[in-house]
A and B are shown apart, each in its own frame.
Chain A
Amino acid sequence: MATSAAVTSSSQTKRLKGRAIHPLWVRISHWMNALAMIVMIGSGWQIYNASPIFDFEFPERITIGGWLAGGILWHFAAMWLLVANGLVYLVLGFSTGRFKAKLLPIRPREVVADLAAALRFRLAHQDLSSYNALQRILYLGVILAGVVAVLSGLSIWKPVQLQELTFLFGGYENARVVHFLAMSAIVAFLVVHVVLALLVPKSLRAMITGR
């Protein structure tokens, strides 16, 4: 009995190992992205403060870089990590079929039902390997926001060399607003994402250990 139980347990472990909730590449790219995003957002706020688009500034102590030049140095250093890591993530996400398996399909009815359940704190979060409709639309949404942030950022950085891209965003000044809105969407996601990860610690553990 004991032997057989041990065998079962060991084979279960093996099976579980084989089916990690988050494969290694997802975990590495997740945390690299987290680092890049924090630097991009903090330094971006520093740059924003040099010439605010709206009638407010970000508090100095939550910005990165100390002054405009420092913010720019950080921003244009972290951009390489953000883009390189993001490209690896997108290529693997598509090629391994993970995006399709995890994020699709998104049915509006399910999104509405899950949102209603979530607002009543009744949205189940038991099976970490499968995302509910709300998670799917949020994860897909933040990936898209990241893509828009990078493209609008490129169009602000290179409004001459990449002028067609800048034109797509409605010109330089509009591209700045789009860049700001993409950042806002990512930050809004981050707040919800971090709160929920702390409320469901095993989801945080899964993104570190894989299970």
Chain B
Amino acid sequence: MRQRQRVPGVDPKHLVKEAAQLLPDPARRAFLRGGASLGAVAFLAGCDVIDGASAEHALRAISRFNDRAQALLFNPNRLAPTFPESAIARPFRFNAFYREDEAPVVDGGSYRLKVGGLVQEKRDWRLEELYALPQEKQITRHVCVEGWSLVGSWTGVRLSHFLKRIGADTGAQYINFICAEGYWTSIDMPTALHPQTQMTFKFADETLPRSYGFPMKIRIPTKLGFKNPKHVVEMVVTNDYPGGYWENQGYNWFSGL
């Protein structure tokens, strides 16, 4: 039984740290070595950009520039293309930083969605209360940062509707989503208010299975898959940049489609 703490007896931060250790360490060390050898080949010789630390610094600065460029390119009224039922991939691919049998088990009965930060109504939401909000269905393309994509069907509540209900400060910059297993990711307010950004309770008309994020995921067809968190237990409206599990390791933060 899950209580209101995320996972009884487990500190999510500790969990994330452990998960991070599962990352390809040699690969991460080699992260910028490619850049160093490239510099030797071409024109960067003698320039301190080839130095690993400053190359990483420069690349991250460009990535932040790319965040701003993508925010400018983002049209809040532009809808992601939708597809017919026949395009839905079955079975839909499982993807996470953990194995499918390690997906968090969340008890629907004791589940509470915690809402915090710059909102008027700071209270917890039970699943039945969330289910009672107006729901709609979308059939859209999920695009993974790895390159693959699949069409799926997601049903749930417009996040913008929920944000209005809880009196969120929609002038705030970020919304941070925290998940049962300690994963987290954050998005910009214009994307949060996009009509297709959804608090999802169903996949292909069935209650969201455990591996796809029971009891609630955030579906954002205008962002890469890793910005679509599963098993969301807490939502925080904030002006302090929250980063994210993958973003803090180098994935571009905005990652808009």
**Interface presence of B149 (CB below 8 A):** yes
- Given the complex, which residues of B lie within 8 Å of A63, measured CB to CB? 34
**Interface presence of A66 (CB below 8 A):** yes
> Given A38-B42, A66-B29: A73 and B250 within 8 A (CB)?
yes
A172 lies within 8 A of B143 (CB): yes
Could you pull out 21 A-B pairs where Cβ atoms are within 8 angstroms? A31-B43, A38-B41, A64-B38, A66-B32, A67-B23, A68-B146, A69-B31, A72-B145, A72-B251, A73-B60, A77-B59, A158-B256, A160-B78, A160-B80, A161-B73, A161-B257, A163-B78, A163-B80, A163-B81, A172-B149, A176-B147
B42 lies within 8 A of A69 (CB): no
**Which residues on B are within 8 Å of A, measured CB to CB?**
23-24, 27-35, 38, 41-43, 58-60, 62-63, 66, 73-75, 78-81, 141, 143-149, 221-222, 246, 249-252, 256-257
Name the interface residues of A18-37: CB closer than 8 Å to any CB of B. 31, 34-35
A161 lies within 8 A of B147 (CB): no
Complex Cα spacing A77 to B34, Å: 14
Complex Cα spacing A184 to B47, Å: 30
Name the interface residues of A154-184: CB closer than 8 Å to any CB of B. 157-161, 163, 172-173, 176
Task: State which size class the interface on A falls in.
Answer: 35 or more
B27 lies within 8 A of A66 (CB): yes
> Given A31-B43, A35-B42: A70 and B34 within 8 A (CB)?
yes
B42 lies within 8 A of A76 (CB): no
B252 lies within 8 A of A76 (CB): yes
> Given A42-B34, A158-B257: A68 and B145 within 8 A (CB)?
yes
Q: Which of B32, B62, B143, B146 contacts A159 (CB 8 A)?
A: B143
Complex Cα spacing A77 to B35, Å: 12
Beyond the given pairs A53-B147, A67-B27, 5 more chain A to chain B contacts, judged by CB atoms under 8 angstroms and listed by A's residue number, are A42-B38, A65-B34, A66-B29, A67-B30, A161-B74
A70 lies within 8 A of B250 (CB): yes
* A46 CB to nearest B CB, Å: 8
A64 lies within 8 A of B34 (CB): yes
Name the interface residues of A185-205: CB closer than 8 Å to any CB of B. none
Q: Which of A38, A43, A47, A160 contacts B222 (CB 8 A)?
A: A160
A76 lies within 8 A of B73 (CB): no
B31 lies within 8 A of A65 (CB): yes
**Interface presence of A84 (CB below 8 A):** no
- Given the complex, which residues of A lie within 8 Å of B141, measured CB to CB? 159, 172
Q: Binding site of A, secondary structure by majority: helix, strand, loop or mixed? A: helix
> Given A73-B59, A73-B60: A67 and B31 within 8 A (CB)?
yes
Q: Which of B34, B75, B149 contacts A173 (CB 8 A)?
A: B149
Complex Cα spacing A200 to B151, Å: 52
> Given A35-B42, A68-B145, A172-B141: A74 and B24 within 8 A (CB)?
no
Complex Cα spacing A69 to B28, Å: 9
Complex Cα spacing A63 to B38, Å: 10
**Nearest 4 CB-CB pairs, A to B?**
A69-B250, A66-B31, A64-B34, A66-B30
Q: Smallest CB-CB separation from A77: which chain B residue?
A: B62
A67 lies within 8 A of B28 (CB): yes
> Given A38-B38, A172-B143: A160 and B81 within 8 A (CB)?
yes
A74 lies within 8 A of B59 (CB): yes
- Given the complex, which residues of A lie within 8 Å of B147, measured CB to CB? 47-48, 50-51, 53, 176
Q: Which of B23, B63, B144, B148 contacts A76 (CB 8 A)?
A: B63
Complex Cα spacing A39 to B149, Å: 25
- Given the complex, which residues of A lie within 8 Å of B28, measured CB to CB? 66-67, 70
- Given the complex, which residues of B lie within 8 Å of A51, measured CB to CB? 144, 146-148
> Given A50-B146, A66-B27, A70-B32: A161 and B62 within 8 A (CB)?
no
Q: Smallest CB-CB separation from A43: which chain B residue?
A: B34
* B142 CB to nearest A CB, Å: 11
Q: Smallest CB-CB separation from A47: which chain B residue?
A: B147
- Given the complex, which residues of B lie within 8 Å of A163, measured CB to CB? 78, 80-81
- Given the complex, which residues of B lie within 8 Å of A38, measured CB to CB? 38, 41-42
